[in-house]
Structure 1
Amino acid sequence: MATYDSFGATYAHTRRPDPRIAAQIHAALGDVTDVINVGAGAGSYEPARTTLAVEPSQVMIAQRPPGLAPAVQAVAERLPLRDGAADAVMALLTVHHWSDLAAGISELRRVARSRVVILTWDQRVFRERFWLLSDYLPEAAAFEDTRAAPTDRLADLLGGARQEPVLIPHDCVDGFAAAYWRRPHAYLDPGVRAGISLLTQADEDTVAPGLARLANDLETGTWHAQHGELLTLDTIDVGYRLIIADN
């Protein structure tokens, strides 16, 4: 499978933190004194209280802007940190990339003194509600089935957790998979797709026919006839979830 060293070079530009999602993440962290960000990428959503970022890809670490917390190159399954190293640990849109989910969650719990916050998605909801997968890229949806972490399993591994829906605003500035749900033309832009691991890790020959159908449906008005009601919505729930566990 491709890694962020091969496709993550544009993330600092395409994956900027959305302030509304940031506010929800920071509220979930609560009144903690320090935070460790695991699977930190280029540093999106890190609160000022972040003391360390952990990220396996040097390409991603190199994109971290000046002034953020220091970063160490390591994987979630083997965190180079002592027990109880920080009040809270967060892991945002990363667990689907881990080679051993149980080991990674165990490490988060070991390092966090009081709270673990994970941003992920419920694959069942994602497949049903996100038109790009259901109508145009069912093969990519099948790929997501192989790597998405069921939210109930995450809660079990955390020893119990609450789940909060994360509504995606229509003008979301963080270009993850469903960010452009009301801007369908964006998915035809190679620069946009370069920031979406769902599309960069799926085989190009697999996604090309679906994208061609999307382009045709946008040109003929078919997409608007089928999904025009989305244009009246400001936010949508397509399955993104915050998993919040007190340790």
Structure 2
Amino acid sequence: MEIYDRIGTSYNKTRKADLHIASLSEENLCLKLERASLLDVGAGTGNYSHFFSSKGHHVTAVEPSGIMMAQAAENTNIKWIKGSAEEIPLPTSSFDGIISILASHHFNDLEKAILEMNRILKPKHFAVIFAGDPSIVSKQSWLFDYFQIVFEKSVSTYLPIHDFKSMIERVTKANVKIIDYLLPDHLTDYFFASAWKNPTLYLNETFRAGISPLASLETSTLNQILERLENDLKNGVWFKKYGSILEEDSFDGGYRFLVWQKN
């Protein structure tokens, strides 16, 4: 979690709960109560916790980074626990739903974290994980062209989505549904591929500061990438090669929902 201790102080400048991602998460939780008890694992600064709290739900947010937690806005309807996904000090079968948004790739022991989440979830209730799989992203995309080293490093960090699905099914004995999520061009949560239609954003230091794979990249390597991108945007090379993407409504950045109901 060192990376989030480093970027936590500016995280909320660019990382906001995206309404569509949050709404799809809510939809797949299939909540039957107006005031459900929800667990947000790897909650960061609590952006998605606040979304669910605003709907009247009682949210418990688990986050290992104290600096990230310190950035969270005060909310009496959110209970914070400083801790890891692998060891959550909460009772078995005590929550109506569990979410984890773009956090699972930071878990130290993914299998143990899934076991723990499933333990805490009430029977017949749902867990929703929103995760990325960089191996899905087209190698013909401009993002892969300029940020190839980011994708190569991420492949060793992110479990391929179908392997992730199989692992959850194995440890929970539940069926897992994968839901494809093509990125629209109006995201408000600025994660890595969110600016797929706005390449100039990657030249913005504030934008990059909230994205862990960019914030952790070696400075000289990052500068080389940015110099090439900036030059190609100025001289028209980028537009000549990739400008057609500006006519697209969505992009497959490798992001997927994983949903299961506890037996």
| Normalised TM-score (structure 2) | 0.88
1:163 matched residue in structure 2: 178
2:90 matched residue in structure 1: 81
1:102 matched residue in structure 2: 111
Greater Cα shift, 143-152 or 179-188: 143-152
Q: Is the 8 A contact 1:25 1:45 kept in 2?
A: no
**Counterparts of 1:171 and 1:129, CA distance in 2:** 22
**Counterparts of 2:228 and 2:142, CA distance in 1:** 13
1:38 matched residue in structure 2: 41
Could you give the per-residue CA deviations for residues 40-93 of structure 1, whole angstroms, max 9, x where no partner exists? 011122312242000001111111112251211000011111111202111110
Could you give the per-residue CA deviations for residues 109-165 of structure 1, whole angstroms, max 9, x where no partner exists? 111112111000122113536522x11121111110121122122212222311111
1:223 matched residue in structure 2: 238
Q: Is the 8 A contact 2:111 2:168 kept in 1?
A: no
Q: How many matched pairs?
A: 246
**Counterparts of 1:200 and 1:127, CA distance in 2:** 23
Question: Does residue 148 of the first structure (1) align with residue 154 of the second (2)?
Answer: no
Classify 1:129/1:52 alpha carbon distance in 2 versus 1 (closer, same or farther; 3 Å): farther
| Normalised TM-score (structure 1) | 0.94
Alignment partner of 2:224: what SS? Answer: helix
Q: Is the 8 A contact 2:9 2:68 kept in 1?
A: yes
**Counterparts of 1:28 and 1:221, CA distance in 2:** 43
Equivalent runs, 1:20-31 vs 2, <5 Å: 20-31=20-31
Q: CA RMSD in A?
A: 1.6
Q: What letter matches 2:97 in structure 1?
A: A
Q: What letter matches 1:120 in structure 2?
A: A
**Counterparts of 2:40 and 2:236, CA distance in 1:** 43
Could you list the runs of 4 or more consecutive aligned residues of structure 1 that deviate by over 6 angstroms after TM superposition?
none
Q: Which runs of 5+ in 1 are unaligned?
A: none
**Counterparts of 2:188 and 2:140, CA distance in 1:** 20
2:59 matched residue in structure 1: 51
Q: Which runs of 5+ in 2 are unaligned?
A: 170-174
